[in-house]
Chains A and B, each alone.
Chain A
Amino acid sequence: ELKVEQNPLFLSMQEGKNYTIYCNYSTTSDRLYWYRQDPGKSLESLFVLLSNGAVKQEGRLMASLDTKARLSTLHITAAVHDLSATYFCAVDIHKLVFGAGTILRVKS
């Protein structure tokens, strides 16, 4: 059974700082997705990573995928308050299996 583990589960950081969220998974897959969820809202697609070594960047967020290590990272650069949300990774094994989510709080 596929396990998808995100860490940390909760992250409190100061504005302007950098940090990385990790997503480890237990079986072979070369496709992974990152989603953002604001409190009380639905999930919004952030990144679609479809091959080993894939790297995508949007604003202050950058996602990468290492299929050999079964690891994806979501790097936050110079955090701002607007990035406060819950971030989920989801691994594609012909259906999506989600991690538990990382709650990010950026303090002013």
Chain B
Amino acid sequence: NAGVTQTPKFRVLKTGQSMTLLCAQDMNHEYMYWYRQDPGMGLRLIHYSVGEGTTAKGEVPDGYNVSRLKKQNFLLGLESAAPSQTSVYFCASNKREASSLEQYFGPGTRLTVT
């Protein structure tokens, strides 16, 4: 049981390049999330998904797109990277339970845009 995994762990992009971050979970969780973490700002929600084939915008969705074609995978895309997207990106997942949204986090992807 690997939990939540993210690929890649590190990436350096030039402004204008595109890339896709992959999140995979093997816990059969319905809900998946993408966050970015910047110094002094905690985690901010980019996009999330409540099930296969569904996605929704979070707090800071601009410049990102997502897809959830399979229940276990949640992809985050940057179509045209900007220096402001330099950050650490975390994926998280949780079961669909009315009582708790306790989330399980992946190891993170450190992205630098030059």
Question: Is B102 part of the binding interface, using a Cβ–Cβ cutoff of 8 Å?
Answer: yes
Which one of B12-20, B35-43, B64-72, B78-86 is at the interface? B35-43
Residues of chain A lying within 8 A (CB to CB) of residue B99: 31, 50
Using known A-B contacts A42-B105, A50-B99, A50-B100, determine if residue A98 contacts B42 with beta carbons closer than 8 Å. yes
The interface residues of chain A, by DSSP majority, are classed as strand
Residues of chain B contacted by A95 (CB below 8 angstroms): 33, 45, 48, 58, 101
Docked Cα-Cα span, A48 to B102, in Å, equals: 7
Main secondary structure of the interface of B (DSSP, over half): loop
Query: In the complex, what residues of B have CB within 8 A of residue A78's CB?
Result: none
Is B28 part of the contact surface with A, judged by Cβ < 8 Å? Answer: no
Bound-state CA distance A9–B39 (Å) is 11
Q: Which residues of B contact A31 (CB under 8 A)?
A: 99-101
Residues of B near any A CB (own CB < 8 A): 33, 40-45, 48, 58-59, 90, 92, 99-108
Q: Is the CB of A42 within 8 A of B108?
A: yes
Q: How many residues belonging to A are interface residues under a CB distance threshold of 8 Å? A: 23
List, in ascending order, chain A residues with CB within 8 A of B41's CB: 100
> Is B104 a contact of A92 with CB atoms below 8 Å?
no
